[in-house]
Amino acid sequence: MTYSEKLKDPRWQKKRLKILERDEFSCQQCHCDEDTLNVHHVLYRQDADPWDYDESELITLCKYCHEEESKKFKKSCDDFLYTIKTKFKLSSNIDELNRAFEKLKISHIYDVFIFVLSRQVLDQSNVDNAIRKYFDSIKKESKKRENGKSTKRERLHGDS
């Protein structure tokens, strides 16, 4: 089953609806509730289906924030790979691993790649703490900006 087919699966649709409801059908970044909403996976696990993730690993983002998050993530991955290649001189190993992922035709190659590297470099408790801190910061920011929804949305999306 392809990734896009998995996103049509009733198990994912049920999980997606649960996350949208939890996040009150609004983007957790800019608080927009008028644009198309996506449920974003904060991280990806190679052998997991979209519906296998814990709720803490999913967040609602509008299409604009989701696109921005994806761009930032790709840039971060590229920067990370560059650092590894230049600082640690592992370019042949990194390229070989990247080619292996490409052969698997994984739709989220950068997510999987970073996930595998993070498992090698980071202790799982550090990963869990980072995820928890990320969501805690989103909740705090959300409370602070409850009254400024349109202002932040206008800034982020260029609306007037």
Tens digit of each residue's pLDDT (9 = 90 or more) over 60-101: 999 999 998 888 877 777 777 676 666 555 555 656 656 665
The pTM of the full predicted model, rounded to 2 decimals, is 0.54
CA distance 38 to 36: 7
In a domain, 45, yes or no: yes
Domain range for 133 is: 3-153
Contact yes or no for 106/112 (Cβ under 8 A)? yes
Q: Is residue 158 part of a domain?
A: no
Give CA–CA dist 69/72, Å, rounded. Answer: 5
Tens digit of each residue's pLDDT (9 = 90 or more) over 28-55: 999 999 999 999 998 777 788 999 999 9
Beta strands in 23-144 (DSSP E): 37-41, 58-62
Domain tally for the chain? 1
Kindly state the tokens that stand for 50: 């979209």
Query: Do the domain assignments include residue 159?
Result: no
Bridge partner residues of 152 (DSSP):
none
In sequence order, the β-bridge partners of residue 58 are 41
